[in-house]
Amino acid sequence: MIARPSRREFMGLTAGAVAATVTPWFSRTVAAVAAADASNADLIIINANVYTVDSRLPKAGAFAVKNSRFIAVGTNDEIKGLAGKDTRTIDARQMTVVPGFTDCHNHAGGDVLLYEVLVGNPFEVEFVTIASIVDKLRAKAKQTPAGTWVSGYFFDDTKVKDKRELNVHDLDDVSREHPVVVQHRGGHTSYYNSKALAMAGITKETKNPPGGTYDRDEKGELTGRVTDTARAVFNKVGTRPTLTPAELERRSREGIAHISKQFVRYGLTSVHHQGGDLAAIQDVRMRGDLRHRVSYEMSGRVLDSMIASGIQTGFGDEWIKLGATSEHTLDGSFSERTMSMSQPYPGSKTGYKGNVTESQEELNAWIERVHRAGIQVNCHANGDVAIDMYLTSVERVQKLFPRADARPKITHCTLINDGLVARIKALDAIPALFTTYAYYNSDKFVFYGEEFMKRAMAYRSLLDAGVHAAAGSDFSPGPFAPLMGIQGMVSRKGWDGKIWGANQKISVADAIRVNTLHGAYASKEENSKGSITPGKLADFVVLSADPHTIDPEKIKDIKIARTVVGGNTMYEA
d(CA 182, CA 201): 18
Residue with Cβ nearer Zn ion (321 or 409):
409
Of 228, 283, 297, 474, the one binding Zn ion (CB under 5 A) is: 474
Residue 140 beta carbon to Zn ion: minimum distance, rounded to whole angstroms: 27
d(CA 150, CA 172): 12
Residue 187 beta carbon to Zn ion: minimum distance, rounded to whole angstroms: 8
Stretch that binds Zn ion, among 127-135, 382-390, 444-452, 467-475 (CB under 5 A): 467-475
Stretch that binds Zn ion, among 256-264, 281-289, 401-409, 469-477 (CB under 5 A): 469-477
Residue with Cβ nearer Zn ion (156 or 474):
474
SS (H, E, C) 138-166: HHHHHCCCCCECEEEEEECCCCECCCCCC
| C-alpha pair distances (Å), 383 with each of 21, 338, 506 | 48, 9, 22
Residue 185 beta carbon to Zn ion: minimum distance, rounded to whole angstroms: 12
Binding mask 352-371 for Zn ion (x = CB under 5 A): --------------------
Stretch that binds Zn ion, among 38-46, 66-74, 87-95, 474-482 (CB under 5 A): 474-482
Contact 53, 532 (CB under 8 A): yes
Residue 112 beta carbon to Zn ion: minimum distance, rounded to whole angstroms: 15
Residue with Cβ nearer Zn ion (474 or 510):
474
Residue with Cβ nearer Zn ion (215 or 474):
474
Those residues whose C-beta lies under 8 Å from the C-beta of residue 254, and which sit 6 or more positions away, are 110, 111, 114
Q: Is 571 exposed, middle or buried (0-12, 13-18, 19+ CB in 10 A)?
A: buried
d(CA 369, CA 372): 6
Which amino acid type is present at position 147?
A: G
Residue 63 beta carbon to Zn ion: minimum distance, rounded to whole angstroms: 35
Contact 44, 73 (CB under 8 A): no
Which amino acid type is present at position 476?
A: S
| C-alpha pair distances (Å), 567 with each of 63, 265, 515, 537 | 11, 16, 20, 8
Stretch that binds Zn ion, among 45-53, 164-172, 303-311, 471-479 (CB under 5 A): 471-479
Strands 180-184 and 189-192: antiparallel
Residue with Cβ nearer Zn ion (68 or 473):
473
Stretch that binds Zn ion, among 8-16, 249-257, 443-451, 468-476 (CB under 5 A): 468-476
Residue with Cβ nearer Zn ion (107 or 562):
107
Residue with Cβ nearer Zn ion (5 or 488):
488
Within 386-415, the residues that bind Zn ion by CB under 5 A are none
Residue with Cβ nearer Zn ion (318 or 331):
331
- Looking at the DSSP assignment, which residues form a beta bridge with residue 430? 409
- Using the 8-state DSSP alphabet, how is residue 446 labeled? G
Those residues whose C-beta lies under 8 Å from the C-beta of residue 20, and which sit 6 or more positions away, are none
Residue 98 beta carbon to Zn ion: minimum distance, rounded to whole angstroms: 26
Residue with Cβ nearer Zn ion (274 or 504):
274
Peptide bond into 305 cis (omega under 30): no
Q: List phi, psi (to 5°) of 66.
A: -145, 140
Length, in residues, of the chain: 573
Q: Is 283 in the site for Zn ion (CB under 5 A)?
A: no
Helix (H, G, I), strand (E, B) or coil at 441: coil
Residue with Cβ nearer Zn ion (42 or 474):
474
Stretch that binds Zn ion, among 49-57, 127-135, 285-293, 466-474 (CB under 5 A): 466-474
Residue 334 beta carbon to Zn ion: minimum distance, rounded to whole angstroms: 11
Residue 402 beta carbon to Zn ion: minimum distance, rounded to whole angstroms: 29
Stretch that binds Zn ion, among 294-302, 389-397, 470-478, 564-572 (CB under 5 A): 470-478
d(CA 323, CA 313): 5
Binding-residue total with Zn ion (CB under 5 A): 1
List contacts with Zn ion (CB under 5 A). Answer: 474
